[in-house]
Amino acid sequence: MPERREFDAAYYGRFYGSQPVHTRRRIGVLATGVTALAEWWRIPIRSVLDVGAGKGYWRDWLSAQEPPIRYHGIDVSEYAVRTFGHEHADLATWTPPEQYDLVVCQSVLQYLDDAQVLAAVPVLAAACGGLLLVEVPTSGDRDTVIDPDGSDLDIHWRRGDWYRGLLDEHFTEIGAGLWVTRSRYVPFFELERAR
């Protein structure tokens, strides 16, 4: 893994070009599901922080479907900031200005080294006042889930229990990549929680 990855126009062209890792439509499906589950659990979503906001698909969906929701996107990529209009920020050193009802962290943690992830998880916890959505490929996914032709394999491959151990300090895992902050009581049924 290189010391510092350049998430430049070439990176976006490769992974969001003709065969993108995520599409506007797929993120729309995910956002619909996440916000519907939040409503089911009576967790109001009035604000969203999008970490590694990239092309801004969450922002676009929210503005089309849920206009009253405040959106804030951060990205470490100068290209993404300049092109798609996010705040330039490194998750491992950023200080959240407020708490957000939903924090989205898709395809970010695998690019950080261990020390950066150890610093980033408390930042996610400080930023999250409700739900956290985490998507990160693990070493267990490498041979069974990941499409090697359409995925960036130049990442830090870690075990899922390593990430869970860090997230468990601040969140309760619900499942499907969703976590609820421990500072917020939500009356989940036992089988609604992952463990």
pLDDT in tens, 124-151: 999 999 999 999 999 998 888 887 777 7
Three-class HEC string of the chain? CCCCCCCCHHHHHHHCCCCCCCCHHHHHHHHHHHHHHHHHCCCCCCEEEEECCCCCHHHHHHHHHCCCCEEEEEECCHHHHHHHCCEECCCCCCCCCCCEEEEEEECCHHHCCHHHHHHHHHHHHHHEEEEEEEECCCHHHHCCCCCCCCCCCCCCCCCHHHHHHHHCCCEEEEECCEEEECCCCCCCCHHHCCC
Indicate whether 1 belongs to any domain: no
pLDDT value for 188: 87
Indicate whether 15 belongs to any domain: no
Indicate whether 17 belongs to any domain: no
The reported pTM is 0.91
Indicate whether 14 belongs to any domain: no
**CATH assignment at residue 182:** 3.40.50.150
pLDDT value for 84: 94
Total domains, the chain: 1
Indicate whether 5 belongs to any domain: no
Indicate whether 7 belongs to any domain: no
Indicate whether 45 belongs to any domain: yes
